[in-house]
Amino acid sequence: MLALRSTLPRYVRACYSRPPLTGQVNKLGVKIPSTFNQSSSTAIKVAIQYPCRHYTTDKERCGTSKQVAVVGAGAVGSTIALLTMMKNVASEILLVDQNGEFALGQTWDLADANIVNSTKVRQGTYKEAGQSEVVVITAGAKQQPGESRQQLIDRNYHILKEIIGGMQPIRKDAVIMLVTNPVDTLTLIAQNLSGLPRSQVFGSGTFLDTSRLTVYLSDLFDISASCIHAYVLGEHGDSQFIAWNAASIGGRPLLSFPEVQKLDKEKVRLSIANKAMDIIQHKGSTYYGIGACASSICESVLRNSMDIRPLSVYVKEVGTVISLPAKVGANGIEATLPIPLGPEEHRQFMESVKKLREIGERYENLNGIEKS
Ligand SMILES: NC(=O)c1ccc[n+]([C@@H]2O[C@H](COP(=O)([O-])OP(=O)(O)OC[C@H]3O[C@@H](n4cnc5c(N)ncnc54)[C@H](O)[C@@H]3O)[C@@H](O)[C@H]2O)c1
């Protein structure tokens, strides 16, 4: 039985680890079968049929009784809220925005989606956000046509400072995800201001750029994007690069495909790095792609699913926050994975490091931010 249990998916295993008393009626009024402990196949079936919401888990952190706060109820924040609601991984979403009227309207509109999901949504305060299990920060100015992400830092640093200050005291096990740009630098600042372990404060990083790359390769090969293992790493910005050396499809190195050998790789890199600006020039801002990426990270945390995602994490060896593949679970960043880079990719990575370190240090010194 134990051996079989270890082959179950993590989520099911977590649910199954503390079964309810058999024969009892759960919160939904469903009687738990008395066969629960008797046969492994029934146990698996029951664990799937009666998921965590009704039982506790080994870490007491499995999804559906949890609160997610989304700070910044604009285009990005509301998209993340809606897509997270649709996943049924949280019991409640709090929307926090300096524009109270706007946030209230957004919560009413989002609540209208409740016929097809069970996540409640309401307006909240910074203080309440500080007590949520997961906090997603999207508040702040966005890029205007022709403006780089780094140019947003002055405006968004002050907003971030106000938000983190207002959230104090932050619960010790909170996981905070930064989305506001420039995401790498603001993640570094949030790590220092929040007082939480760095592993609990990270940014959405190059996950969106990676999604753009896999969609591009998916079109090239006519293969589902979810089956393409390739990462954009480094800065979520101009100096980002594609880790071609470590990329694969179906276990075969991507660089061994003639279609990829023929590619102008710098052209591909630039088209991915500039895609946000292309969208902004057409419709003013981007929010669906980041909404999908950020809500899936909320899911990884709330389900403790240990997905590997390229995120803005603190990398001690280089002394800055930068995107590398990271394992995401209930505690935030559970580990950062080493990735084999080619010589040119390593040079590009160090270029991103240099840029981000310079900006981070300049900004921290300028504002007297103490390093944690
Ligand atoms: N990391 C990524 O991949 C990615 C992708 C897209 C957008 N973004 C960034 O997300 C941010 C938000 O973009 P958007 O399109 O939603 O902008 P938006 O203008 O639609 O929304 C921003 C919201 O922040 C609110 N806000 C401002 N100051 C606040 C404060 N002190 N407290 C609470 N709320 C405050 C505003 O009232 C507004 O509702 C921008 O910085 C943008 O660059 C990041």
pLDDT at 59: 40
| 3-class state of residue 359 by DSSP | helix
Do 100 and 167 meet the contact criterion of CB atoms below 8 Å apart? no
pLDDT digits (tens, 9 = 90+) for 192-246: 999 999 999 999 999 999 999 999 999 999 999 999 999 999 999 999 999 999 9
Neighbouring CB atoms inside 10 A of 192's CB total: 18
Neighbouring CB atoms inside 10 A of 197's CB total: 15
pLDDT at 7: 43
92: tokens are: 């409640």
Across the chain, which distance is largest between two alpha carbons, in Å? Answer: 65
Rounded CA separation 243/368 (Å): 35
Query: Can you list the domains of the chain with their CATH numbers?
Result: 2-49 (no CATH), 65-203 (3.40.50.720), 207-364 (3.90.110.10)
Minimum CA distance residue for ligand 1 atom 18: 74
pLDDT at 154: 87
Query: What spacing in Å lies between the alpha carbon of 327 and ligand 1's midpoint?
Result: 26
pLDDT at 180: 97
Q: Report the residue among 70, 71, 76, 125 best suited for mutation to probe ligand 1: largest number of ligand atoms under 8 A from its CB.
A: 76
pLDDT at 44: 34
Query: What spacing in Å lies between the alpha carbon of 233 and ligand 1's midpoint?
Result: 23
pLDDT at 366: 64
pLDDT at 372: 63
Do 245 and 342 meet the contact criterion of CB atoms below 8 Å apart? yes
pLDDT at 65: 83
Contacts (Cβ under 8 Å, ≥6 apart) of 225 = 211, 214, 215, 217, 218
pLDDT digits (tens, 9 = 90+) for 261-314: 999 999 999 999 999 999 999 999 999 999 999 999 999 999 999 999 999 999
**For residue 236, which of 174, 320, 305, 306 has the smallest C-alpha distance?**
320
Q: Is the CB of 135 under 6 A from ligand 1?
A: no
Q: Is the CB of 140 under 6 A from ligand 1?
A: yes
Query: E-assigned strands of 172-234?
Result: 175-178, 201-203, 228-229, 232-233
229 is catalytic: no
pLDDT at 34: 45
First to last CA, the chain: 45
Query: What spacing in Å lies between the alpha carbon of 237 and ligand 1's midpoint?
Result: 17
pTM for this prediction: 0.85
Which residues are bridge partners to 175 per DSSP? 134
pLDDT at 276: 96
pLDDT at 15: 36
Q: Is the CB of 139 under 6 A from ligand 1?
A: yes
**For residue 177, which of 76, 284, 74 has the smallest C-alpha distance?**
76
41: tokens are: 């196949």
pLDDT at 8: 43
Rounded CA separation 43/8 (Å): 11
Q: Which positions of the chain have pLDDT values less than 70?
A: 1-64, 366-372
pLDDT at 369: 65
Q: Is the CB of 240 under 6 A from ligand 1?
A: no
